[in-house]
Amino acid sequence: MRRPVIAGNWKMHKTVQESINAAIGLKRKFYTFAEADIVICPPFTSLSKVSDQIMDSSIMLGAQDLYWEEEGAFTGEISPNMLKDAGCRYVIVGHSERRNIFGETDDDVNKKLKVALRHGMVPIMCIGERLEERDSGMTLEILEKQLARGLRDVAKDEAVRIVIAYEPIWAIGTGRTATPQQAQEAHRFIREFIERSYDREAFSKIRIQYGGSVKPENIAQLMAQEDIDGALVGGASLDVNSFAEIVKNAVL
Ligand code: PEP
């Protein structure tokens, strides 16, 4: 059985104090929680303080991005060691906002993924198609390209540690969720790609999250799909109660 993983991406929201307050609120609800991995991804400035709050609880810390070099003259970037030092166990790579606003390529995603794995963090690798790509029937082709390039030269024992987040871009922050059937079809395709690239064991083990306007009201239907193992939640993760409802409804 794959362990569900529900991650909250706070994006560029919350000051340090607001992050601490949210972490305390979540810790009260999920001090111990055996049914799923719960991950919160605050902005970089809040990582250490949030880590202090959740350290002894079942909630895990994730970052929203990283750079692939260990250290050096890379103004504005953050290294894997810095994230580890701040308490991160997970890190999001290749979010569509990084790809679309900041020009990240599949090659960048591949480098970030590999450095995260090398440092023992679990990368959450985001992939997904634009609306026009879905409308012109190119969804699976786009996913295949992002997977092939993003996972290049990643060995099976490392690949099975990755969490893949299928996030159709047209569903992110729009209130328009993929139907459970649309999400399931994409997740199945991703799992089969993993089987073709590695083997049947990797097919069974890899965890694939859905992301795109996940809310307390739609998570259960999504999680009922055979190949959906969790969710990457943006907007609805900013509120402690709604994120807590999502986690609870995910494992009903
Ligand atoms: C996201 O940004 O990864 C995301 C899924 O956002 P939202 O839940 O707000 O659609």
pLDDT above 90 for 236: yes
Q: Nearest-5° angle of CA 78, CA 80, CA 86?
A: 80
Residue 186 identity: A
pLDDT at 1: 84
Which candidate, 125, 119, 115, places its Cα nearest to that of 92? 125
pLDDT per residue over 155-193, tens digit each? Answer: 999 999 999 999 999 999 999 999 999 999 999 999 999
Nearest atom in ligand 1 to 11's CA: 2
Nearest atom in ligand 1 to 231's CA: 5
pLDDT at 68: 98
Q: Is the CB of 23 under 6 A from ligand 1?
A: no
pLDDT above 90 for 110: yes
pLDDT per residue over 34-86, tens digit each? Answer: 999 999 999 999 999 999 999 999 999 999 999 999 999 999 999 999 999 99
Q: What value does the mean pLDDT take over residues 211-237?
A: 98
Nearest atom in ligand 1 to 165's CA: 3
Which candidate, 123, 226, 133, places its Cα nearest to that of 165? 123
Q: Is the CB of 100 under 6 A from ligand 1?
A: no
pLDDT per residue over 115-155, tens digit each? Answer: 999 999 999 999 999 999 999 999 999 999 999 999 999 99
Q: Is the CB of 94 under 6 A from ligand 1?
A: no
Q: Is the CB of 212 under 6 A from ligand 1?
A: yes
Q: Determine the residue of 172, 174, 176, 242 to mutate for testing ligand 1's pocket, defined as the one with the most ligand atoms within 8 A of the Cβ atom.
A: 172
Q: Any idea which residues carry the catalytic annotation?
A: 95, 167
Show Cβ contacts of residue 91 under 8 Å, excluding neighbours closer than 6 positions.
62, 63, 64, 65, 66, 80, 83, 112, 116, 121, 122, 123, 124
Which CATH number covers residue 148?
A: 3.20.20.70
Nearest CA to ligand 1 atom 4: 234
pLDDT above 90 for 235: yes
Q: Is the CB of 120 under 6 A from ligand 1?
A: no
pLDDT above 90 for 88: yes
The secondary structure element, H or E, covering residue 51 is helix 47-54
Q: What value does the mean pLDDT take over residues 215-235?
A: 98
Structural domains in the chain (count): 1
Structural domain for 16, as ranges: 5-250
